[in-house]
Structure 1
Amino acid sequence: MNNDIVPSLLEAIQKQFDEEIKSNETIKTILKKQKQGAVDYTDSLSFAKELGVSLKKVLQKNINEDMLPDGRMYYNIAQRLLKPMIKQNYDLVSKQCEVTQNLLNKKANLSLKAIVSEYDEEKTVSIIDYISNADKYSQREKSFLAALETNAKSIVDDSVRINADFHYNAGLRPKIIRTTVGKTCKWCQSMAGVYDYSKVNNTGNDVFRRHANCDCTVVYDPGNGSKTVQNVWDKKVEYKPNQEEVAKRIQKINAALMNENRLKYKLNLQLFAKYKSLRLDAHTRSELNTWLKHDEIEPGTLMLKDIGDYRYYFVYNDFDSYTLYKKIKIRGKVRSK
C-alpha cells in the first residue's frame, strides 16, 4: 500500500497558495504600483510578508499532527514538501525586488542593472532540519511557521545588501538605514541607525539580520554628508541622529540589558559591539538548537555556551538563528553548564 502523503498534499498546498496570492489585495496593489513604476523597497517588504503569511496560512490549513506519521514531519516529508514552496517564495520575492531595484536605479539616473540575490539553500535546509527534528510537529509548529515569514523578508534584505554592495564597488557611497516599526525589542532598537555601507559590508552583518516577527525596514542611501539623509526607497527625508544622540541611545540600551537578570547567562551586548560576526558551523548550530529547544528567550540576548574545547559567545535572534561573535579555546578552564 502506498502511504506517501506528500504528492497529493503538495499539490493541494501549491494550488491553495496560488489562490491566496491571486486574491490578496495587498499584493494586487503592489503589482499595480509596480506596473506604474511607483514601487520601492517598502513595497517589496510588504510583498514578501504577505507571501510568508499566505504560506503559513495554507500550511496551517493542510498540515496537522494527526495526519503525520507518529505526529512528526519526518525529513523525507519536510524536504519534499517545504523546499519547493520556499523556493517558489524566493522566485517571487527576488523577481519583485529586481523590478523595484531597476526602477530605483532609473529614477536615480543610474545606468546600472539590478543584481538578484542568490537563493539561500542553507536557510532552507535549516528550516527543514528544525521542523523534522521535532519529536512532535505541534512542539515547533508556531516557531517553524514564523521562520517561513522571516525567511521571505530576508530575501528583501539580501537584495538591499547585494545592490548596495554593487553600487559601492561602482564608486558610489551607499548608506544603509535600519528603522524600527512599531513596538520592538531591545536588539532591534540597538541596531536602528544609519551606517556607511563600507562599515557593514562584511558577510552576515547584524544590520541585515532579522528575528521572527521582525518588521524593521532596511534601506539604502548614497549619502551626501548632510544632517538629513535621503531614503531612496520611499523618497522621504529622514533625520540623521548625531553622535551624542547615538551615544545616549546605546547607554540606555546598555543599562536595560545590564538590569535584565531573568536569564543567568545574559551578558552585556555592547561589550561585543567591536566584534564582527563569525561563521557558525552546522555542528555548533545543531548543539545550540538542542540546548535551547525548550527555552523561551528574548531575541537579542547575548549568550555563551561551551561546546567541546571552545566557548562560544553569540546573540540569540530566534531558534536556529544565532549570530556568533567570539569563539575562544577553553583549555581546561571551568566550563559553563
Structure 2
Amino acid sequence: MLIERVRVIDKDSDYTANVLIKEGKIKEITKCDGEGKYVLMPAFIDMHTHLRSPGYEYKEDLESGQKAALKGGYTTLCSMANTLPVCDNEKTIEYIKDESKRLNLCEVIPVCSVTRNLEGKEIVNIDNMIKHTNLFSDDGNTIFSQSIMKDSLNLSKEYGFKILTHCQPEAKIIKRDLNLLEEIGGNLHICHVSSKDSVELIKNHKDKGLDFTCEVAPHHIYGYDIDYKVNPSFRSKEDFESLIEGIKDGYIDIIATDHAPHSAEDKMKGSPGISNIEVAFSMAYTSLNKYGIDLNKISELMSYNPAKILGLNKGLIRVGDDADLVLIDMDEEYEIDTNDFVSKGKNNPFNKEKVKGRILKTMRKGRVLYDYR
C-alpha cells in the first residue's frame, strides 16, 4: 500500500511524505514538498477501556467494542477488570485474550483486578496473574484499605507490574496514594484525573521528582458543568481549565477514554459512564486546539506516551515499525451521532454537537480494519 502526499504527524514530526507499507510494516517514507490533504498519525492506544465481556455483553462485547475502537482510530486497548466474573483469575483473562486473538481486530491487553472480586479485601494471586498481564486495577472501586494499597505497591515493585488506581474521593485518595508511593515506591498510574485539586497534587509530587503517570479522559477536557452521570463527575470550568494547563505544562501523561458503554435501561437507572471511544480523538482535538495544543502533543498523549508506559514499540511513524496508523481529515467537521455508533452503548451527552477531525481509515499491521468511505 502506498499512501501518497500525506501530512505525517507524531510526537516529534510534522512533514509531507509518501508512505509505503509492505508486509504489515512501514517500509519507506519519502518526504515531498507541499501540504498533504490528510493527516497520517500513529494509531491510538487506550489504557482505559470497558469492553464489558464476559458477563455484560448486552452493554458491549469484545467484537462491538473493538470495532468501535477501530472507528475511533485505536488499535490497542487495555480492557478493565469489572466484568462478570471479575477478571481476577486465569480462566477469565485467558478467555479475553483468546477471543480477542480469534477476532484479530485490536491488540487487547486485559487488566486484572488488584483485589479478588473487586472487594478491596484480599489481593489476587499475583504469581498466577503476572503470567498474563502486568496491569492491575480495581477501577470503578476505590481501594480504601491503606494496608491493601501499601501491600499492592510493594508487590508492584517486586514483580514489576503497574497499578492503575481509581480515586474517590479523588484528591483525598490521590494524596494518600502519592504519599504511599513516596514512602515505599512502586509503579503507579492515576486514572481519570478530573479536578483542580488533583492536578495540584500531581504537579507538586512530580516537581519533587516522584515517578508516576496519570491520565485524563476526553470528556473531562471537552465539557464542564454538565448534568450527566460519569465517574468521576463532570467538573467546573475552573477544574476543566486546570486539566488543560496540566496538559500544556506536561504534568498529564496520557488521554485515556474510560469508554463505559451502557444500555439505555441501565443508564436510566443511574449507571455512570460515557460511550466515547469512536469520537474521543475528535472531542480531544476540537477542545485542545482552541487552547493552542497542537497535533504533536495530542499524538504524544494518545499514542507515544501510552506505548511507553505499556512497554510497546509503537507510537511513532518510523521505517521498520508496525503499520499501526490512522488517516484523518482534519478539516472535516461533523456531528456526533450516537445512532451511528458501532458500540452498543449510545450513552453520550454530546450527541448532535459538532466536532472536527474525521477518522478516515484505521490500520493495524497494514490491514485496513476501518474505512469511513
Using the size of structure 1 for normalisation, the TM-score is 0.27
- Which entry has the higher C-alpha Rg, 1 or 2? 1
Using the size of structure 2 for normalisation, the TM-score is 0.25
**More helix by percentage:** 1
- Relative CO higher for 1 or 2, CA cutoff 8 Å, sep ≥ 6? 2
